[in-house]
Chain A
Amino acid sequence: MSKFKKKKSGGIPAVNTAALPDIVFMLLFFFMVTTVMREVTLKVKVVTPQATEVNKLERKSLVSYIYIGEPTDQLQSKFGTADRIQLNDAFATKKDIIAFVEGEREQTDPAEVPLMTFSIKADQKAEMGIVTDVKQELRKANALKINYSTKKTDKIID
């Protein structure tokens, strides 16, 4: 069995790193697959409020977002600082919401339409007036499953 004869030369043999690229590639593929690049460019500033009783949003493909907040700093010279609604990539008014809901429904498998959730990502400084308008429009569009996007926290401060 000369094949398994130990090398007699002294010193610690170098660690075989031939498999290192494989390991790294494995990790790489994992992160490539799990990475979700942000689909929309936010045109409004949104800092969501904090809450303790939050649920996780599951099935992200069934969630559509409605952003509410004041325009970002670059856009403020053009659009002012009043709160605005953003749907997909553009500013919208409350009248566009019904069409938006219909559009989102068309892109979804008909069997899963009842499971669709509309997540309202509103800035904590936004006024309820505009949020209420959005809610009323969603009601008109019969999109009743909604979610107020919030961050999880342990304690609510007065």
Chain B
Amino acid sequence: MARRESPEINAGSMADIAFLLLIFFLVTTTMDVDTGLTRKLPPPIEEELENPPEIRERNVFQVLVNANDDLLVEGEPMLVSNLRAEAKLFIVGDALDESMPEFKYTDVPLLGKMLVSKQIVSLQNDRGTSYEMYIKVQNELVGAYNEVREEYAQQKFGKTMQQLDDGAQTTELFKQQLKAVKKVYPQRISEAEPKNVGE
């Protein structure tokens, strides 16, 4: 038999096949980036401390959430929407106000010795508190710190925290400024062990 020349394969429909696959991957791809509130847990305690460091009542911003998702801030019932503003007032503080946290001289990079508030936010929830409520409260507290820092960074260095954060990898000055802001307003959210109700 004489060898016949093989006919050329029609590649016209290749595009269609490729399109089909493309659409499949387009549909299955989820581009969502995982987002969330990043927190740091305190290291485990080996044994109970003999003398826990004494913290004065005026330095503590007490936030309690009960099993019915009610919020009690410094002994007063409050809505979540008001928590941020209240927490900001406390974090910034007022050196002249007796009920506000004490101030202490602290070494801050770039700025030297400065008065820094001894504020601490204490959050305690019940085992029956809903996770949603807990996240809301956490969010407002973190938000309060972020806003206070943001305002300070703008006023002191004329830059947003975002700019400082982005620049910190490459520029030493930005890194120092970021450190300074964090030193002036350290994020101190302490979570008490939740109460065991009905156990």
User: Among B14, B29, B80, B135, which residue has the most Cβ atoms of chain A within 10 A?
Assistant: B135
CA distance A139 to B42 in the complex (A): 7
Q: Given A37-B28, A55-B38, A144-B43, do A126 and B139 touch, yes or no (CB 8 Å)?
A: no
List residues of chain B with CB within 8 A of the CB of A149: 34-36
30 contacts between A and B (CB under 8 A): A17-B15, A24-B15, A24-B22, A28-B18, A34-B29, A34-B31, A49-B131, A51-B138, A52-B139, A55-B38, A60-B34, A124-B132, A125-B132, A126-B130, A127-B127, A127-B128, A129-B194, A131-B134, A132-B193, A132-B194, A142-B43, A142-B44, A144-B42, A146-B38, A146-B39, A147-B38, A148-B37, A148-B138, A150-B135, A158-B80
The residue from A21, A31, A34, A122 contacting B14, defined by CB atoms under 8 A apart: A21
Closest Cβ–Cβ distance, residue A91 to chain B (whole Å) = 18
- Measured between beta carbons, the chain B residues less than 8 angstroms from A158 are 79-81
Per the CB 8 Å criterion, the residue count for chain B at the interface is 47
Given A17-B15, A53-B37, A57-B36, 13 more A-B residue pairs with CB atoms under 8 Å apart are A49-B132, A53-B146, A55-B36, A124-B132, A127-B128, A144-B41, A147-B36, A147-B38, A148-B39, A150-B37, A150-B139, A152-B35, A158-B79
> Which among A52, A60, A126 has the highest number of chain B CB atoms within 10 Å?
A52
Flag if A128 contacts B194 (CB, 8 Å).
Answer: yes
Task: Check if B29 sits within 8 Å of A54, measured CB to CB.
Answer: no
Residues of B whose CB lies within 8 Å of any CB of A are 11, 14-15, 18-19, 21-22, 25-26, 28-31, 33-44, 79-81, 125-132, 134-136, 138-140, 142-143, 146, 193-194
